[in-house]
Amino acid sequence: MLDTLRRLIQEVNVARNLEQALAIIVERVKQIINADVCSVYLADVSNEQYVLMATNGLLPQAVGQVRLNRNEGLIGLVARRAEQVNLDDAPAHAHYRYFPDTGEEKFHAFLGVPIIHHRNVVGVLVVQRKQRSHFDEDSETLLITVAAQLAGAIAHAEASGGISGIDDSMQAIDGHRSLLGQPGAPGVIIGTARVMYPYADIHAIPDRQVDNVTAELIAFDQAVNSVKKDIAAMAERLHDVLPPEEHALFDVYTLMLESNSFTGVTRNRIEAGNWAPGALRQTIEEHEHVFNQMEDNYLRERVEDIRDLGRRIFSYLQDKAQAEPHFYDRTVVVAEEVTAPMLAEVPPDKLVGVVSVRGSRTSHVAILARALGVPAVMGVADLPVGGLDGVELIADGYSGRVFVAPNDLIRQEFERLTSDEKALTDELQGLKGLPSVTPDGEHIALYANTGLLSDLAPTLASGAEGIGLYRTEFPFMIRQRFPGEDEQCNIYRSVLEALAPRPVILRTLDIGGDKSLPYFPIKEDNPFLGWRGIRISLDHPEIFLVQIRAMMRASVGLDNLNIMLPMISDVAELHDSLALIHQAYGELLEDGLELTMPRVGVMIEVPSAVYQAGSLARRVDFLSIGTNDLTQYLLAVDRNNARVAELYDSLHPSVIRAMLQVVDSARVHSKPVSVCGEMAGDPAAAILLLGMGIDSLSMSVSSLVRVKWVIRNITRDLAAEILSEVLVMEDVHTIRSFLNDTLEKAGMGGLVRAGK
Ligand code: PEP
Ligand code: MG
Is residue 651 included in any domain, yes or no?
A: yes
DSSP conformation class of 181: -
Count of CA atoms in the C-beta half-sphere (13 A) of 282: 22
In a domain, 233, yes or no: yes
- Encode pLDDT of 383-410 as tens digits: 888 888 899 999 999 888 899 888 888 8
For ligand 1, is residue 473 a contact (CB within 6 Å)? no
The predicted pLDDT at position 145 comes to 87
Determine whether the shortest distance from the Cβ of 605 to ligand 1 is under 6 A. Answer: yes
458 and 585 co-located in one domain: yes
CATH number for the domain that contains residue 706: 3.20.20.60
Q: For residues 465 and 478, what is the distance between their CA atoms, to the nearest angstrom?
A: 28
Residue 168 reports pLDDT greater than 60: no
Q: How many CA atoms lie within 13 A of 226 on its CB side?
A: 16
Task: Residue 419: count other Cβ atoms within 10 Å of its Cβ.
Answer: 10
| Residue-number span of the structural domain to which 718 is assigned | 432-755
Please give the pLDDT value at position 245.
67
Mean pLDDT of the chain: 88
- Please indicate, yes or no, if residue 344 is contained in any of the structural domains: yes
CATH number at residue 112: 3.30.450.40
pLDDT(324) > 90: no
pLDDT of 378 = 93
The model's confidence at residue 112, banded by pLDDT at 50, 70 and 90, is very high
Q: Is the CB of 676 under 6 A from ligand 1?
A: yes
Looking at the DSSP bridge assignments, the partners of residue 403 are 178, 394
Lowest mean pLDDT among 224-228, 304-308, 365-369, 683-687: 304-308
Question: Within 13 Å, how many C-alpha atoms sit on residue 743's CB side?
Answer: 25
In terms of Cβ atoms closer than 10 Å to its own Cβ (0-12, 13-18, 19+), residue 391 is middle
pLDDT tens-digit profile of 569-628? 999 999 999 999 999 999 999 999 999 999 999 999 999 999 999 999 999 999 999 999
Any idea how long the chain is? 756
State yes or no: pLDDT of 41 exceeds 90.
yes
Amino acid (1-letter code) at residue 489: C
Domain boundary among 379, 398, 424: 424
Ligand 1: which atom is nearest the Cα of residue 676? 5
Q: What is the mean pLDDT of residues 89-107?
A: 89
Q: Is residue 140 part of a domain?
A: yes
Q: 323, 353, 388 — which closes off a domain?
A: 323
Please check whether residue 172 lies inside any domain of the structure: no
328 lies in a domain?
A: no
CB-proximal residues (5 Å) to ion ligand 2: 605, 626, 629
pLDDT at 221 over 70: yes
pLDDT value for 47 = 64
pLDDT band for position 45 (cuts 50, 70, 90): low
Q: Is 626 near ligand 1, meaning CB less than 6 Å away?
A: yes
**pTM confidence score:** 0.77
Residue 330 domain flag? no
The confidence band for 381, taking pLDDT boundaries of 50, 70 and 90, is confident
Q: Residues 419, 436: one domain?
A: no
Residues 695 and 570 in one domain: yes
Q: Are residues 547 and 687 in the same domain?
A: yes
Which ligand neighbours the alpha carbon of 470 most closely?
Answer: 1
628 lines ligand 1 (CB under 6 A): yes
Q: Is the pLDDT of residue 174 over 60?
A: no
**Rounded Cα distance, 525 and 533, in Å:** 17
**Is residue 619 within 8 Å of residue 581, measured between CB atoms?**
no
246 pLDDT band (50/70/90 cuts)?
Answer: low
Q: What one-character-per-residue DSSP string does 91-136 give?
A: GGSTT----GGGTGGG--EEEEEEEEETTEEEEEEEEEESSS-PPP
* 705 and 573 share one domain: yes
Q: Is the pLDDT of residue 146 over 90?
A: no
Distance between terminal CA atoms of the chain? 43
Together in a domain, 412 and 399: yes
Same domain assignment for residues 572 and 711: yes
Neighbouring C-beta atoms of residue 518, cutoff 10 Å: 13
Same domain, 268 and 308: yes
Same domain, 83 and 110: yes
C-alpha closest to that of 449 among 86, 696, 137, 133: 696
Pairwise CA distance, residues 247 & 239, whole Å? 7
Among protein residues, the one with the nearest Cα to ligand 1's atom 1 is 626
pLDDT of residue 271: 92
Task: Kindly report the CATH number assigned to the domain that includes residue 317.
Answer: 1.10.274.10
At residue 158, the pLDDT reads 58
587, 661 contact by CB (below 8 A): no
Of the listed ligands, the closest to the CA of 361 is 1
**625 CA distance to ligand 2 centroid (A)?**
9
pLDDT for position 755: 45
Count of structural domains, the chain:
4
Of 323, 353, 369, at which residue does a domain stop? 323
User: What CATH number did the domain enclosing 356 receive?
Assistant: 3.50.30.10
**298 alpha carbon – ligand 2 mean position (Å):** 48
pLDDT of residue 159: 54
| Between 318 and 667, the higher pLDDT residue | 667
Flag whether pLDDT at 166 surpasses 60. Answer: no
242 Cβ contact partners less than 8 Å away, ≥ 6 residues apart: none
Confidence (pLDDT) at 386 = 80
For the stretch 434-440, contacts whose Cβ atoms lie closer than 8 Å and that sit 24 or more positions apart, written own/partner, are 434/463, 434/708, 434/712, 436/465, 436/708, 436/711, 436/712, 437/711, 437/712, 438/690, 438/711, 438/712, 438/714, 438/715, 438/716, 438/719, 439/712, 439/713, 439/714, 439/715, 440/715, 440/716, 440/717
Q: Is the CB of 507 under 6 A from ligand 1?
A: no
10 plus 147 within the same structural domain: yes
Is residue 234 included in any domain, yes or no?
A: yes
Residue 605 φ then ψ, to 5°: -140, 5
**Is 676 in the active site?**
yes
Active site (annotated) includes residue 489: no
* 454, 591: one domain: yes
Going from the Cα of 629 to the center of ligand 1, the distance in angstroms, rounded, reads 6
Mean pLDDT in residue range 52-65: 92
Same domain assignment for residues 43 and 122 = yes
Task: Determine the Cα–Cα distance for residues 428 and 426; give it in Å rounded to an integer.
Answer: 5
